[in-house]
Chains A and B, each alone.
Chain A
Amino acid sequence: MPKYAMVIDQRRCVACMACVVACKNENDVPPEQYRTRVLEMVEGEFPQLRMELRSELCNHCDNPPCVYNCPTGASYKRKEDGIVLLRKNRCVGCKACVAACPYDARYINHEKGFADKCTFCEHRLKEGKEPACVATCIGKSRIFGDMDDPKSPVRIALQNSDATVLLEGAGTRPRVYYIKKFSKPE
């Protein structure tokens, strides 16, 4: 069984936002709402400034607080591949998952009322395709694959770099890894 994960190689991101547009188009995300975003953050003190471009999305955590806090079992982690998904018919729109997510990855779909989020484009995975954001990424910053397959792009990317996860201290064990633009491997 695959164990899907994503690597964001921040060294290759140019903040073209093609991933954001592809995601909105693929998943019919309402206007002014996003399943993924690219943060542009300035760090440091003048004149030692640098900009970090960071793609953020649902981390499909192995220890997902959104799933644990869901009162109806609408949010669940799929056993076959570890993707965190939503049974829309069960969602009551209580927003517990939105409050529980430390990554602010969830939002209430204003048009349909359920707690929407990234699904790693699981409908495309069924067809053997990559998620829309990965397929469209011109800099190959977004890398997707099976962590259990030694030949998969994510395993290769992680083997050759110093990757981190977001908010490791939260104990959520995310499946989205970041190769930071300015960090150097030991």
Chain B
Amino acid sequence: MQTDALLHLNLNRSGRLSRRNFLQTAALGVGGSSLLSQFRLHAEDLKKEGRSCILLWLAGAPSQLETWDPKPGTPNGGETKKIQTQTPGVEIAHHWPKIAGVMNEIAVIRAMTGKEAAHERGTYHLHTGHRMMGIEKFPHFGSVVARELGDPQSDIPNFVSIGQTLSSGFLGVQVAPFIIDRPGMLPDNVVNTTSDLRQRRRLALLSQQENEFAQAGAAALVKEQSELYQKANLMMTSPRLKAFQFDDEPAAMQEAYGKSQTGQGLLVARRLVEAGVPFVEVRSTGWDMHTNVFRSMERRAPEVDQGLSQLLLDLKQRGLLEKTLVLCMGEFGRTPKINARPPAPGRDHWVRNFNLLMAGAGIKGGQVIGKTDENGQEITEDPVQVDDLFQSMCKAMQMDAEMELHTPVGRPVRLVEGGAVIKGLFG
């Protein structure tokens, strides 16, 4: 059994069975007919191949007034000016000229309202759809997507994050994010150092070694480790590994995304989505601007402006945008009132109203949903709760927001506990 588990049948996304694994399978005495049936089953799965999501996470919580809801000319507006976008009537902060140029693809949600104004708690809420309470660790939305839309036999992880992120919580290591730090490079240690034959013998001996330790009382740890080794082994021989590497990516395309960590991360995200990975997160840091918000925004905005606008153009050109949900957000917003912190003023944590961007996957671009008052302190139209956002994300991913997840103690919880799909978001 254990051997079987470790030497898992390696069918890749295109349904091809690699020669090496065919030999392994044959060696294990799996009959031809059962092989064929597995092959067919897999082909069924491929038909269902659906949606993907790229989440660009602006860690630290970007200011709504310096992004998609500027208030120039008011006491709270500060130095930020507004600019016209491609969409008549839609105006955003002047830091984002390139985003302005692709506004027809984007829905701006201006009236988000949350409940958590501390980084860790807000990050958790906006990644899981649940507030941090009690003992249960809810999974990252990406882990739920990986489980629902990912191919369980996939030879590369169904959830990749460029930069640290939340874990898969109680959904376990099967759908945990695979984290890379250097976009464009092959992940570390994916190249086998020995021959296939020796590797196969080693793994067979290892699985027997593991069985004995499982019987000695460490069953849970052994099970987890064998799942991880199985995944690692599939990954090592995957032809899709090249999605991580820019070797075949034209230099002009790398330039277009921008030579920044965020830009290159978004390019990897596009390549991974193209290779069939259903969820990719790209993390951009440095958005917690308690001080010096105007200068800091000038420094941080350009790489996101360039990378995100290019991503949308690129996805559209490849026909991927209609099945790829693109999200750009942080954990909450920032105080409309400008503080007096030295050396230069900034904005503190604020959760009553903030904003974010959504695009692709059936979302109607070129629109703004929700409104705040002239000081940016109150929502005046169409507030969107975190639950509503998650309902909408599920709809875009063609997933059932009402689905039940089972916690380790068997308590059923809904993926999204309330709310409704944002009105008018989908065309």
Q: Answer whether A and B are interacting partners.
A: no
Interface residues of chain B, those whose CB is within 8 Å of chain A, are none
Interface residues of chain A, those whose CB is within 8 Å of chain B, are none
